[in-house]
Amino acid sequence: MKGTISVKRNSRWAKFSIDAEANTPVTMILDELNSRETLLEADGSPAEPIVWECSCDQGVCGSCAMVINGSPRLACSAFFGEVGPDVKVEPLSKFPLVADLKVDRSSISKSLSEMKIWLEDDDALVSDVDMQYTSASCMLCGCCLEVCPNYSGEGKFFGAVGMNACFRTAEQLSGSAKRERLSYFAKHGDAGCSKSLACQVVCPAKIPLSVVISRLNRERFLSVFYRNK
């Protein structure tokens, strides 16, 4: 199956000719381009190897997240037969650009650290194991932040990533520790969320973020009116 892949490289698009099977993921296409002895654009111009990230190639780590044909997704689970024959790939726009398709997503870790997404109570309770497991499948890939109309990478709103992580800790705590985590949700999550739920649509892990947000709101209500909860 012949086609092209256009890669956004800083301020310009570079187009390459490709020939791949329908079940070939975009990651393998990028690998094949970089493995060529001489990488040439479709017009014959010489090109440098494409800078991008990939780790597991199994849809688990989230490192290959990029915008493919206008939608953020994992390149390892975007197949040529689905997105081709003419594919356009570009980096996530909500993070500082490193080079080509590689971005710096360290702001996610900084946000989670500010929200204190960890447990300190040895007697932490797990009220819903299944939902906790589902929530923990988040890869911190950034796809949800890319489509969020309220997230800019600046300011106090940390987006669905922060709210999802806050959910896992808040539901396992009680008393003042729970109220502290929920105050971070109020400040860095709910206060800036317009509930568009675009995050839920693009989430590669299929986390039901609408459920996460609604349960956090419930927990916050209970923590305000029932101080012993």
Residue spans of the domains in the chain: they are: 2-103, 106-225
Query: How far apart (Å, rounded) are the C-alpha atoms in residues 28 and 19?
Result: 11
pLDDT confidence of residue 61: 94
2-103: CATH homologous superfamily?
Beta-grasp domain (3.10.20.30)
Q: Is 69 left (phi over 0), alpha (psi -120 to 50) or beta?
A: left
Q: The whole model's pTM is what?
A: 0.90
pLDDT digits (tens, 9 = 90+) for 98-154: 999 999 999 999 999 998 888 876 656 766 788 989 999 999 999 999 999 999 988
Angle, alpha carbons 184-102-3 (nearest 5°): 125
Angle, alpha carbons 208-69-34 (nearest 5°): 110
Query: How far apart (Å, rounded) are the C-alpha atoms in residues 84 and 81?
Result: 6
Burial label for 67, CB within 10 Å (0-12, 13-18, 19+), is buried
pLDDT digits (tens, 9 = 90+) for 46-79: 999 999 999 999 999 999 999 999 999 999 999 9
CA 21 to chain centre: 27
Query: How far apart (Å, rounded) are the C-alpha atoms in residues 33 and 27?
Result: 10
pLDDT confidence of residue 128: 79
pLDDT confidence of residue 225: 60
Cis peptide before 85 (omega within 30 of 0): yes
Query: How far apart (Å, rounded) are the C-alpha atoms in residues 83 and 173?
Result: 44
On the question of a common fold for 2-103 and 106-225, the answer reads no
Fold of 106-225: Fumarate Reductase Iron-sulfur Protein; Chain B, domain 2 (1.10.1060)
Contact by Cβ (8 Å): 76, 54: yes
- How many other C-beta atoms can be found within 10 angstroms of the C-beta atom of residue 176? 10
